Amino acid sequence: MDKLNQKHEKLLKALASLHKAISIFELFKKEAVSYNPHMSYEEEYRGHRDSMIQRFEYSVDLFWKYLKKYLEESLALPPIGGPKPIIRECYSTKILNENEAENALSMIDDRNLTSHVYIEEVAEKLSAKIPDYYKLIQKVTDRLV
Q: For residue 140, what pLDDT is reported?
A: 97
Query: What is the spatial distance between Cα 31 and Cα 23, in angstroms, rounded to a whole number?
Result: 12
What's the pLDDT score for residue 73?
93
User: Given this model, what pLDDT does residue 33 score?
Assistant: 85
Q: Which structural domain, as residue segments, surrounds residue 113?
A: 3-143
Handedness of CA 37, 42, 45, 50 (dihedral sign): negative
Calpha distance 107→129 (Å, rounded): 9
* Model pLDDT, residue 116: 80
CATH assignment of the domain containing 26:
1.20.120.330
Q: CB-based burial of residue 25 (10 Å sphere; 0-12 exposed, 13-18 middle, 19+ buried)?
A: buried
- What whole-number distance in Å separates Cα of residue 105 and Cα of residue 66? 15
Nearest to 83 by CA among 137, 135, 2, 39: 137
Number of domains in the chain: 1
What local confidence, expressed as pLDDT, does residue 1 receive?
A: 55
Tens place of pLDDT per residue across the chain (145 aa): 599 999 999 999 999 999 999 999 999 999 988 888 899 999 999 999 999 999 999 999 999 999 999 999 999 999 999 999 999 999 999 999 999 999 999 999 999 998 887 889 999 999 999 999 999 999 999 999 7
